[in-house]
Amino acid sequence: MHVTATQAKNRFGAICAQAKTEPVFVEKDGRIDTVIVSANQFSELQAANRIENLAQRKVQFEQMHSAWLAEQNQRFEAHGLWCDDMRVW
């Protein structure tokens, strides 16, 4: 749904109700300025963004520390875990 900023202001309650079923695009000066979405849709967008950011951070970490990760993996393959010989009392 597309509305002007004036329509959104004058019919805010109806616009909020409509936003529960679909995004409402608010135009200002003939261009889309704002999008009104439901709280559920906003939560889904935030969750998707967190997952995407986490994946990006993982890739970035692996790129930055690839040498250290390789060294740790080699040490593990050669010697195992440092706590393998520990006994429970």
Segment-wise mean pLDDT, segments of 10 residues, the chain, 89 residues = 94 95 94 95 87 83 91 89 74
For residue 27, is it within any domain? yes
For residue 88, is it within any domain? no
Q: Which domain holds residue 55?
A: 41-79
The pLDDT, as a whole number, for residue 14 is: 95
For residue 84, is it within any domain? no
The pLDDT, as a whole number, for residue 47 is: 85
pTM for this prediction: 0.57
Q: Distance (Å, rounded) from C-alpha 2 to C-alpha 35? A: 9
Whether residue 45 sits in one domain with residue 75: yes
Structure letter (DSSP) for residue 80: -
For residue 89, is it within any domain? no
Q: Distance (Å, rounded) from C-alpha 67 to C-alpha 43? A: 38
Whether residue 74 sits in one domain with residue 47: yes
Query: Count of domains in the chain?
Result: 2
The pLDDT, as a whole number, for residue 51 is: 78
Whether residue 32 sits in one domain with residue 45: no
